[in-house]
Copies of this chain bind each other. A is one copy, B any other.
Amino acid sequence: MRDQLQPEESKRDSNGYLPGLAIDTVIFGFHQNQLKILLLEYHNTGLMALPGGFILANENLNDAARRVLWERTGLSDIYLEQFYVFGDLARFDPTPMRAIMTAKGFTPPDNHWLLDRFISVGYYALVDFTKAVPIPDSLSDSCGWYDLAKLPPLMQDHQQIVQKALDTLRTDLDRKLIGFNLLSETFTMADLQRLYETILDQKLHRSGFQRKMLSLGILERLDKQYSGGAHKAPFLYRFISNAK
């Protein structure tokens, strides 16, 4: 079962979950030279939100994040990282959540646990866009990819969470060599360069980029050649995590 928060459960108190603590995930994908993130759309509210969830009382925090990720994408072996904890009082506004629940035909009491202050642990994930199968949760009617460059208005402070995730991704890109997680198993050097250019939002010099990537010793060149364009066929590469 990929969806833990059933409508019936939303009427219970927080039993089973740690109270006051949540997880929000910024799930990045890359498609057609665009960075995308997964968003949920709530019925009849016009509110869009990051996939989130709660932590079971007997569950490791990081496992909870993986569970949320799996529930929304069907993917289980994914690059996932904490990046910040959002704990300002200002982010606590019960109005959107009440609207969501009301739209689902449930009128919560004012002291319902979902309307309390939440502190949220932010995670970002990098997934292979072609492998993820977005699935909505019980409170939303859709779950899909949106261009990071033109996001719709988001619930609460989710826009800031996305911005902070993007900042972290940018600074981690070179330090941790994680970009490959956004590509499919094999890719061309041009694919990789377009990914870097999109994430960093700047043009990179082709020659220097190739030289740097190859010098890192983390790419395996496959003899296979890609074919498709009216020009010289590029090599395909595969990421090798020999460091581990």
Contact = CB atoms under 8 A, between A and B. Distances in A.
A29 to B, nearest CB: 25
Q: Which range contains the number of A residues in contact with the other chain?
A: 20 to 34
B20 A18 contact: yes
B55 A121 contact: no
Contacts of A57: 117
A62 B90 CA distance: 12
A62 B87 contact: yes
Contacts of A216: none
Contacts of A171: 175
29 contacts: A18-B20, A18-B117, A18-B119, A19-B19, A20-B20, A20-B21, A21-B21, A21-B119, A55-B87, A55-B119, A57-B117, A59-B89, A60-B88, A60-B89, A60-B90, A61-B85, A61-B86, A61-B87, A61-B88, A61-B119, A62-B87, A62-B88, A64-B87, A82-B84, A82-B85, A85-B85, A85-B121, A87-B121, A171-B175
Interface of A: 18-21, 55, 57-62, 64, 82, 84-90, 117, 119, 121, 171, 175
